[in-house]
Amino acid sequence: DIQVTQSPSSVSASVGDRVTITCRTSQGINSWLAWYQQKPGKAPKLLIYAASTLPSGVPSRFSGSGSGTDFTLTISSLQPEDFATYYCQQANNFPLTFGQGTRLEIK
């Protein structure tokens, strides 16, 4: 199985801050990576796919980059509704695997 490691596991930030979350995979996956946002008690929401593509309706303050084994999710200017847990997921090999999550908290 491909191991997916996120860092940090948690981060505190303020509204307006720029935040970057990193995802590393145990083997190269080209650009087959997705990011999800999950709020407490809710299902995950697809945020980014193919490493850098935003689905319709996702705000442009979210961006993704990377290929191979190293990927980043960046939120350019945090909004109150962005405080949540973020997961990356490799979409290159079965079984699909997720990172352990990064909890983004209000400072």
Partner 1 sequence: QVQLQESGPGLVKPSETLSLTCTVSTGSITRFFWGWIRQPPGQGLEWIGYISYSGNTNYNPSLKSRVTMSLDTPKNQFSLRLKSVTALDTAVYYCARGEWLFDYWGQGVLVTVSS
Which residues of the shown chain bind partner 1 in the complex (CB under 8 A)? 32, 34, 36, 42-46, 49, 55, 87, 89, 91, 94-101
* In the complex, least distance from residue 106 CB atom to partner 1, rounded to whole angstroms: 20
Toward partner 1, which CB reaches closer, 49 or 71? 49
* In the complex, least distance from residue 92 CB atom to partner 1, rounded to whole angstroms: 8
Spatial contact of 88 and 2, defined as CB atoms under 8 Å apart: no
* In the complex, least distance from residue 20 CB atom to partner 1, rounded to whole angstroms: 20
Alpha-carbon separation of residue 27 from 35, 42, 50, 67, 102 (angstroms):
18, 30, 16, 11, 21
Q: CB-based burial of residue 84 (10 Å sphere; 0-12 exposed, 13-18 middle, 19+ buried)? A: buried
- Tokens 């990172």 locate to 99
Toward partner 1, which CB reaches closer, 32 or 71? 32
Toward partner 1, which CB reaches closer, 33 or 78? 33
